[in-house]
Amino acid sequence: MYNKSLEITLEELLEKAFEQVNYRPQFLQQLLDSYIYILGTSAESISEHIEHTLKEGSEVQIKQWQKKDGTFFFPFFTSLERLQKTIRNNENYLRINTRSFFELTFGSNVVLNPYSEIGKEFLPAEIAGLLNGDFGLRPDAEELTIDRNTQLSHPSPYPINMVEQTKILLQVNHAVSFAYLAQVMDEKHATKSSLVIGLQLSQVLTEHEKQQLYRQVKQTATDSLLQKKTVELVFVDANDQTALGQYLLHQTQPFYLRQDDKKKGFFATLFN
């Protein structure tokens, strides 16, 4: 059943995600579960320029557009208003679940809200990640390895924008008490460095919740870096005996400290 409030929520999240990268994981999650508008026809939609919501198993023909460079893409829109602002003539359009749309067009490029002030192109590799629950993480991200050739240090230059955006995201997640940051460099490749964020949790999370948190933080951190480089993320605790865990916990200061923990620390100083 059509729900206008859900469409408005998706539009609001899109605008926030366009301005602040920490909203992008939330927007991508919402987008995947929402209904969007496409240009096309199905066996059930026989009237011209009529809105029709596709049902599972429906046969559909989706219209493609062509870029100036000659390549084709499938357009889709977060709202009917955005679709109507883009098309010149009356055209058939359909409502379809985004996940179903991605599956139907898999292997092709698709563009959200083309030719509008807020749009985004999704490439096949990114769509594959979204369908697998990765919510926009780069499919070719390097895995973090720490060995005797690895040098840990404080980031230089310090990624201020990334830190601030990540802190905004963490402020709405009460499961994280502390967040740490370090720079990782392989001595064999001294010109290439990456960043690693360590999260210390205040409560036990399910594996699904940890994976969701991992994706959101990594996505926000990666997208908010002004000088692009690989960002990895690990979970640490007070008993962590790994070289990386020891460095983050004892050689760095947390860039994020949950407000509750700040208060506890303050009162502990006064009364203990």
Residue ranges and CATH numbers for the domains of the chain are 4-131 (no CATH), 150-271 (3.30.300)
CA-to-CA dists, residue 201 to 12, 28, 143, 205, 258, angstroms: 30, 24, 22, 8, 10
Q: Specify the pLDDT at position 55.
A: 58
Question: How far is it, in rounded angstroms, from Cα 45 to Cα 41?
Answer: 6
Residue 131 CA to chain centroid, in angstroms?
A: 13
Scanning the structure block, which residue is given the tokens 């690990």? 234
Express each pLDDT in 96-143 by its tens digit: 999 999 999 999 999 999 988 888 888 887 888 888 876 644 433 334
Q: Specify the pLDDT at position 74.
A: 96
Q: How many other CB atoms are found less than 10 A from the CB of residue 189?
A: 9
Scanning the structure block, which residue is given the tokens 């996505």? 219
Contact 98, 131 (CB under 8 A): no
Q: Specify the pLDDT at position 269.
A: 36
Q: Specify the pLDDT at position 35.
A: 93
Express each pLDDT in 7-24 by its tens digit: 668 888 888 887 777 788
Q: Specify the pLDDT at position 133.
A: 75
Q: Specify the pLDDT at position 62.
A: 93
Q: Specify the pLDDT at position 64.
A: 94
Contact 75, 65 (CB under 8 A): yes
Question: How far is it, in rounded angstroms, from Cα 42 to Cα 92?
Answer: 9
Q: Specify the pLDDT at position 207.
A: 78
Q: Specify the pLDDT at position 49.
A: 47
Question: How far is it, in rounded angstroms, from Cα 94 to Cα 51?
Answer: 6
Q: Specify the pLDDT at position 5.
A: 58
Question: How far is it, in rounded angstroms, from Cα 223 to Cα 268?
Answer: 37
Q: Which residues of the chain have pLDDT under 50?
A: 1-2, 46-50, 136-143, 263-272
